[in-house]
Structure 1
Amino acid sequence: MTDSLLTASLGLTALFAAALGLGLWLRFWLSSRQIRHVAQHRAQVPAAFASTVSLAAHQKAADYTLAKARLGLLEMALGAAVLLGWTLLGGLSALNQALVQLLGHGMTQQLALLMAFVVLSGAIDLPLSWYQTFVLEQRFGFNKMTLKLWLADLLKSSLIGALIGLPIAALILWMMAATGSLWWLWAWLFWMGFNLLLLVIYPTLIAPLFNKFAPLEDEALRSRVTALMQRCGFSAKGLFVMDGSKRSAHANAYFTGFGAAKRVVFYDTLLAKLSAPEVDAVLAHELGHFKHKHIIKRIVSMFALSLAGFALLGYLTQQLWFYTGLGVQPNVASSNDALALLLFMLAMPVFSFFIAPVFAQLSRKHEFEADAYAVSQTSAQDLSTALLKLYEDNAATLTPDPLYVRFYYSHPGATERLERMQVGAAVPH
């Protein structure tokens, strides 16, 4: 190894280790702030909601938030240890060499490396996933899944992932080897096309494999929702109710699909808890995202960021220090494309974590804009009571740490958001 290569390799190692350590410290510090803040405010409902939220509900939300945060600390520590094991401690390099010895060089070995990595990573994550579902969620009355359904979901998602993921991986690996120095541009075009296709086919081909979607049968509610969408200039392929209650007591509603394939989906748990005017208000909020073109803006942002990512990957695949600096001995006699994909996937979140607050802030801005649109189309009071019911139903704390909110939350904090709704409710529309 030349001096310049050694310097670049050691530089990347030091930079990666520093970013990982700083990121882990920052995560622990923010989570510790969240735990302290929620615990300190557990004993009393915020004054603004003292007449609408019971102390028992407030304390349940606090306890649920604390339990998730403490589990998150364990997940952070495990995630950092596993990441170090794959990279600087040589785990990915050892796995690659073992598969080279077993299968030789070539496409089969590269696909086997990707598949083995996914399987091993999934196996490492499985115990915490099981604990979250059957211990944490169960303790707070949210889990409705049986072990049989959980295993069935795991099997189905694994099969779908393999059926879709392996051909995509094979095609990208082929592009990397066969389309020259601009392979990353062709791969990006394919990846974006696939994601747009997935937006269209997911609602009708994939989602029904996991849940039942029945047409909304409540004629009065259907008429209200249809009138609201027409008033807002929005059309959808259908209104559906999803059997979310077979997995969780959490409630939600969402739009899915793209273009002519858009559909509105209500959780059955949501319809059981909200009045018709409140359902209108929640739907109007979602329509606000479309009115302000938030979905298009996010897709365009995803296109731009992914293009930058593919271009960076195209450069890094040609740099030997990229492999050695992250603990991998690259193949000498064959392609390292699969290694490059995995290393990039492992390393990028370590660095991109520090710009996450920028995207969280933009997302919160979009949520406020959607709230304002909903208030203009329905009732601020209905939106306020609907959100309050959903916060209570999902045991979302009303007292998160403000700095934690600024760093992580894609939606505004409960108190900040509901206070705006209460101010809006006093203004006639």
Structure 2
Amino acid sequence: MTENALILPPALLTSLVFGLVLLASVVVKFWLATRQIRAVARHRAAVPTEFSQTISLQTHQRAADYTVTKLRFGLLELALGSATLLGWTLLGGLDWLNASLLSAFGPGYPLLQPLALIGIFALINGAIDLPLALYQTFVIEERFGFNKITFRLWLGDLLKSTLVGMVIGLPLVALVLWLMQATGSLWWLWTWCAWMGFSLLMMVIYPTVIAPIFNKFQPLEDDTLKERVTRLMTRCGFSAKGLFVMDGSRRSAHANAYFTGFGAAKRVVFFDTLLAQLSPSEVEAVLAHELGHFKHKHIIKRIAGLFAFSLAGLALLGWLSTQLWFYAGLGVTPNLPVQLGGTVPNHALALLLFILTVPVFTFFLSPLMAQLSRKHEFEADAYAAAQANAQDLSNALVKLYKDNASTLTPDPLYVRFYYSHPPASERIARMGGKIVPV
């Protein structure tokens, strides 16, 4: 056998690499999930010693059962998602859809056919995910007492989100496709500029235009809590356009609080479920934690990181979109270039293939991203302990873990790979709080 005979064609090599990396990611995800299931099940019979005076055995076992149920359902999602990905790529689904639309539209539609390709692809993917979303909400969340949404409201949310996605998404995709077609070899740079501008615009308009479509936001009416929160923000040098309460209880029993918006449009939003569960001092401590993220510029760092990664990704796509092996190796027959008689460019195909395959490769960066996020959480906790009260934040964490049925006995390796927030015991120990009955 000659040396040249050992060299695989680029398209075949691409198929093999993609298939092997996909298989490796599925195996690792399955292994980590089963480790987490075993760890949670192994400790189900007894509450961890440090929480024994705070969490009842019944509550602990409910959290364990909820965690295991979600993990097992996640394995089903993993199998379906992997099969769908293979169907779109190596098994020819995207190639068939592209060819069908080329035949339906005929020549002379250099923008409409690619736009239809992306739109129909999104609708098919949404339809595949729909039964899983229904089961997650109306079976799993219902079984453990978290679901509060009616089917009518769920259906209304689905219709609203679809319409909002079309109103915002279709013009944006059309702009991106036009830039890819009209701005030459540096289309990726122009597209990046448009995407960053859109992202910043969404940060400004989301709180006041989009979010109210789905939820009601009422000004915080508790004068005592409002005064306490205002003093905290003044002490921390933070200003917001308003303090609002969101009707999260219409959909779920889970609790949360967050900042939204950008610049002068920043808002502080409390779920009504959070205010019902925590005391005013605990709410203040939770808010101080969120302010810690701003104090340490975590939000700006994350936005800057997103901008940098998106620029690198689009630059890579700019190169891959010119390589025939990129298409052929992922199960797609590229459209003929214009200079060879083609009328429809490959931009939409390249975009979809990139969106489909990048998560497979970047999955292995998850531990690094999770570690950075946990570092930020520890820093925000330390800031909250200095600006409010460490014990109040500890009490709030215990209540939230309890009410959200979060497991207190995760597998350490699963934590390092996935957890964006450190386990409760680590957070409380690090900030010097105590786990006391609340």
Aligned partner of 2:290: which letter?
E
Is 1:123 the counterpart of 2:133? The answer is no
Structure 2 unaligned blocks of 5 or more? 337-341
- Give how far 1:353 is off: 0.2
Aligned counterpart in structure 2 of residue 171 of structure 1, from 167, 175, 178: 175
Taking the aligned partners of 2:43 and 2:61, their CA distance within structure 1 comes to 9
Aligned counterpart in structure 1 of residue 406 of structure 2, from 389, 392, 396: 396
Is 1:182 the counterpart of 2:186? The answer is yes
Can you list the C-alpha shifts for 1:284-333, whole angstroms capped at 9, x where unaligned? Answer: 00000000000000010001000000100100110000000000011111
Aligned partner of 2:184: which letter?
G
Aligned partner of 2:150: which letter?
T
Aligned counterpart in structure 2 of residue 29 of structure 1, from 5, 28, 31: 31
Aligned partner of 1:211: which letter?
N
Residue 100 of structure 1 corresponds to which residue in structure 2?
102
Residue 211 of structure 1 corresponds to which residue in structure 2?
215
Taking the aligned partners of 1:418 and 1:75, their CA distance within structure 2 comes to 33
Residue 421 of structure 2 corresponds to which residue in structure 1?
411
Equivalent pair of 2:428/2:434 in contact (CA under 8 Å): no
Equivalent pair of 1:399/1:414 in contact (CA under 8 Å): no
Structure 1 unaligned blocks of 5 or more? none
Taking the aligned partners of 1:141 and 1:176, their CA distance within structure 2 comes to 48
Residue 318 of structure 2 corresponds to which residue in structure 1?
314
- Give how far 1:4 is off: 12
- Give how far 1:258 is off: 0.6
Taking the aligned partners of 1:196 and 1:410, their CA distance within structure 2 comes to 24
- Give how far 1:356 is off: 1.1
Taking the aligned partners of 2:252 and 2:223, their CA distance within structure 1 comes to 26
Can you list the C-alpha shifts for 1:30-66, whole angstroms capped at 9, x where unaligned? Answer: 0000000000001111001111111111111101000
How has the CA–CA distance of structure 1 residues 66 and 122 changed in structure 2, closer, same or farther, with 3 Å as cutoff? Answer: same
Aligned counterpart in structure 1 of residue 18 of structure 2, from 2, 16, 24: 16
- Give the 4+ runs in structure 1 shifted more than 4 A: 3-6
Can you list the C-alpha shifts for 1:319-360, whole angstroms capped at 9, x where unaligned? Answer: 000000000011111301100000000000000000111111
Residue 362 of structure 2 corresponds to which residue in structure 1?
352
- Secondary structure of 2:9 counterpart: helix
State the percentage of identical aligned residues. 68
Output the TM-score relative to the length of structure 2: 0.95
Aligned counterpart in structure 2 of residue 272 of structure 1, from 258, 270, 276: 276
Aligned counterpart in structure 1 of residue 286 of structure 2, from 282, 296, 313: 282
Give 1:216-227 correspondences, 5 Å limit.
Answer: 216-227=220-231
Aligned partner of 1:237: which letter?
K
- Give how far 1:6 is off: 6.9
Can you list the C-alpha shifts for 1:186-220, whole angstroms capped at 9, x where unaligned? Answer: 00011011001100100000000000000000000
Aligned partner of 1:282: which letter?
V
Aligned partner of 2:413: which letter?
L
Taking the aligned partners of 2:57 and 2:395, their CA distance within structure 1 comes to 17
Corresponding pairs, count: 423
How large is the Cα RMSD of the aligned pairs?
1.3
- Give how far 1:252 is off: 0.4
Is 1:231 the counterpart of 2:235? The answer is yes
Aligned partner of 1:59: which letter?
Q
Taking the aligned partners of 2:106 and 2:56, their CA distance within structure 1 comes to 65
- Give how far 1:7 is off: 1.1
Output the TM-score relative to the length of structure 1: 0.97
Aligned counterpart in structure 2 of residue 257 of structure 1, from 254, 261, 265: 261
